[in-house]
Amino acid sequence: MVEDHTLGSTIVKARFGSDIRKVVVHHNDDLSYNDLVLMMQRIFKIKSSVNISLKYKDKEGDLITLADDHDLLLALKTEQSPISIFVLPEGCELPQIKKYFFVVNLIFLFLEKLNKSRINFIFIEFLFFEWRFYDYKYYKY
């Protein structure tokens, strides 16, 4: 449990796959790492049976793992709002996610070259949805 007797609020910019959400986290002496995990599971509709890990981006741009209440307290004390948090299914490596986003960005650049016709855009949204469903079905379903 975070032992800080001041009430504060921090904006959290959370990412899970391609989904990005902003939430305000009110924190005082009763905020725990488990509370934050439950909040992320609720926001992104991740089943409670799925283990997730949380990482945040620090001032130097490094991804720091949040593993317990002490890591959470350090992040809240040292990082400015908004804090960028990456929600990852346990066992999922960040380079793998970066690779998928690189491919998706290439596809969107290709669409721009095709003048972004509405039909092409709808098709690529469908492909992206299929990829997300296939990639995360083990974790979410």
Give 8-89's CATH code, choosing from 3.10.20.90, 3.40.50.300, 3.40.50.1000, 3.40.710.10: 3.10.20.90
Enumerate residues 6+ apart whose C-beta is below 8 A from 135.
Answer: 17, 100
Q: What is the pLDDT along the chain (141 residues), one digit of tens a residue?
A: 445 455 678 888 999 888 889 998 887 756 789 999 999 999 999 888 888 889 988 888 788 899 999 998 888 888 888 888 989 887 665 565 666 666 766 776 776 666 555 555 555 555 555 445 444 444 443
Q: What is the amino acid identity at position 29?
A: D
What is the C-alpha R_g of the chain? 17
Residue 80 DSSP label: P
Burial class (CB in 10 A: 0-12, 13-18, 19+), 48: exposed
Q: What are the backbone angles phi and psi of residue 17, rounded to the nearest 5°? A: 65, -125
Burial class (CB in 10 A: 0-12, 13-18, 19+), 41: middle
